Structure formats: structure tokens, C-alpha cells
Amino acid sequence: MLVSTLLFASSQGIFSARKIEKMMIENLAMQYLTGQLVVSYRTIKRFRVAEGMEELIRDLFIDLNLRLKMEELVTLDCLCIDGTKIEANANKYRFVWKKARDKFSVKLQEQIQMPLLYG
């Protein structure tokens, strides 16, 4: 039940244990998922860092992908980057946007090719 709770909460963009506990109280979909059981945020935190949890989640992820592939609900031939931007505690002007990076990459490739052509 806790694994499904964590997966559902993360799919909704909620990662805080306190917010997940609040979600168990207020969200109807979460109440259905948990059978209207409310778990303390401390229990959620302890469960998240329990020994073997990382391997369990990785195995569940692999199993889910395989099942979806076998049922032909998804194809695994496309890899996408979600474009999440994470604000760091650093100079805000150091953040590099994808378009600027791609533009710089093209210019850099052109500059690399020039010595090869004329050298």
C-alpha cells in the first residue's frame, strides 16, 4: 500500500511526506488507493529509507515496463527527457537553456570543422 501511495503521490508531483499524509486525508483517489487508511508522515519517511527500498522500486519499475511492453500498451523505442528545471542555490545567470546550448553546440562544431578544412 505504501509503495502505491508513493508512486501515486509522485505522479501528482508531491514528494513531501507531510503533504502525502495530507493527501491521504483530502484526496479521494488516494483514499480509494489506501482504503481510507491514513499513515503518519513519520511512517512514510521511514518506509522510504528502509533497507532494500531502492532495489524494490527499481525492480517494480522494470517489471511495470515489461508488462506494459508485453501488453503492447507502450513502445520502448523512444527516450524522452522531461525538461525539468531545477533551481540551484547559485548564480541564476549560469543556468543554460536547451536552445542556447544547442545553438552553441552548432557553432562549436562549425569552429572545430574550420581548421580541419583549411589546415
Q: pLDDT tens-digit profile of 48-101?
A: 889 988 888 878 877 887 888 888 887 766 655 566 666 655 555 555 566 666
pLDDT reading at 118 higher than 90: no
Question: What are the helix (H) ranges across 1-119?
Answer: 2-11, 17-26, 28-34, 41-48, 53-70, 98-118
Looking at the domain assignment, is residue 35 inside a domain? yes
**Domain with 16 in it:** 2-51
Spatial neighbors of 5 by CB under 8 A, at least 6 apart, are: 20, 24, 30, 33, 34, 39, 44
By C-alpha distance, which of 7, 3, 9 is closest to 22?
9
Looking at the domain assignment, is residue 44 inside a domain? yes
pLDDT of residue 93: 54
Looking at the domain assignment, is residue 99 inside a domain? no
Looking at the domain assignment, is residue 83 inside a domain? no
Looking at the domain assignment, is residue 45 inside a domain? yes
Looking at the domain assignment, is residue 12 inside a domain? yes
Q: Please tell me the least confidently modeled range out of 30-39, 70-79, 103-112.
A: 103-112
The answer to whether the beta carbons of residues 47 and 2 sit under 8 Å apart is yes
Number of domains in the chain: 1
Looking at the domain assignment, is residue 74 inside a domain? no
Q: What is the mean pLDDT of residues 23-46?
A: 94
Cell of 60: 517494480
The pTM assigned to this predicted structure is 0.54
Phi, psi of 26 (to 5 degrees): -100, -30
The answer to whether the beta carbons of residues 14 and 20 sit under 8 Å apart is yes
Question: Residue 14: CA atoms inside 13 Å, Cβ hemisphere, count?
Answer: 18
Looking at the domain assignment, is residue 22 inside a domain? yes
pLDDT of residue 22: 95
